C-alpha cells in the first residue's frame, strides 16, 4: 500500500495557477474566514499624522482588552486591529466613538472579502439628547426628523422617567 501511495504521489503535479505564490505586502495578516469577526479597521480623523506607537499605546489603554489586541498601520490615519476575543472586539465597537488627542477615532467591522483600505470610515455614530421637547413631539417621527437633519438617524432610546 505504501509503495502504491508513493507512486501516486510522484505523478502529482501542480497546475500553473496552483504553483503561483501569494505575496502579502507590508506584513498584513491573512484574514481567515473563521476569524474575520475578530478584526476591526479604524481611522483617526485628524489633520496631523500621529506617531503610530503612541496611537497603539493609547488605543490599547482605552479599549483595555481582556485577551489582548494587535494593531498594524495600513496607510495614513488608517489601521487594522486584531482582537484575541470577540467580546473585546464587540466592546470596542459598542463604545464608539473613541478619541485620541482630541481627534475622533472611527471603527468598523470588516468582511472576509473587504479591502481594509476601502472600508467607509467617514461616519461616526453619536448620541444626541434633546431636552425640553413637548410631550406631543416625543415620537419616532420627530426623532427621525432631528436625526436626519444632524446626519443619519439610527435609533431612538425613549428614557422611561
Numbers of helices and strands, H then E, in the chain: 5, 5
Give yes or no: residues 48 and 113 share one domain: yes
The mean predicted confidence, pLDDT, of the chain is 80
Could you tell me the pTM of the whole model? Answer: 0.65
From CA 124, how far away is CA 107, in angstroms rounded?
8
Give yes or no: residues 66 and 143 share one domain: no
Give yes or no: residues 103 and 47 share one domain: yes
Q: Is residue 70 part of a domain?
A: yes
Give yes or no: residues 100 and 134 share one domain: no
Tens of pLDDT, residues 70-112:
898 888 788 999 998 999 999 998 888 888 888 888 898 888 7
Q: Is residue 32 part of a domain?
A: no
- Identify whether the C-beta of residue 140 lies closer than 8 Å to the C-beta of residue 76: no
Beta strands in 86-149 (DSSP E): 98-100, 103-109
Give yes or no: residues 116 and 42 share one domain: yes
Amino acid at each position: 500500500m505504501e509503495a502504491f501511495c508513493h507512486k501516486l504521489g510522484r505523478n502529482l503535479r501542480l497546475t500553473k495557477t496552483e504553483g503561483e505564490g501569494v505575496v502579502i505586502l507590508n506584513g498584513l495578516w491573512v484574514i481567515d474566514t473563521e476569524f474575520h469577526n475578530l478584526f476591526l479597521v479604524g481611522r483617526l480623523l485628524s489633520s496631523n499624522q500621529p506617531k503610530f506607537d503612541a496611537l497603539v499605546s493609547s488605543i490599547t489603554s482605552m479599549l483595555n482588552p481582556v485577551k489582548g489586541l494587535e494593531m498594524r498601520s495600513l496607510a495614513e490615519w488608517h489601521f487594522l486591529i486584531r482582537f484575541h476575543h470577540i467580546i473585546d472586539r464587540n466592546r470596542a465597537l459598542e463604545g464608539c466613538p473613541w478619541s485620541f488627542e482630541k481627534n475622533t477615532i472611527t471603527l468598523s467591522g470588516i468582511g472576509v472579502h473587504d479591502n481594509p483600505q476601502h472600508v467607509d470610515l467617514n461616519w461616526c455614530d453619536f448620541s444626541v439628547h434633546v431636552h425640553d421637547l413637548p410631550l406631543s413631539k416625543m415620537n419616532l417621527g420627530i426623532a427621525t426628523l432631528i436625526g436626519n437633519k444632524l446626519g443619519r438617524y439610527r435609533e431612538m432610546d425613549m428614557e422611561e422617567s
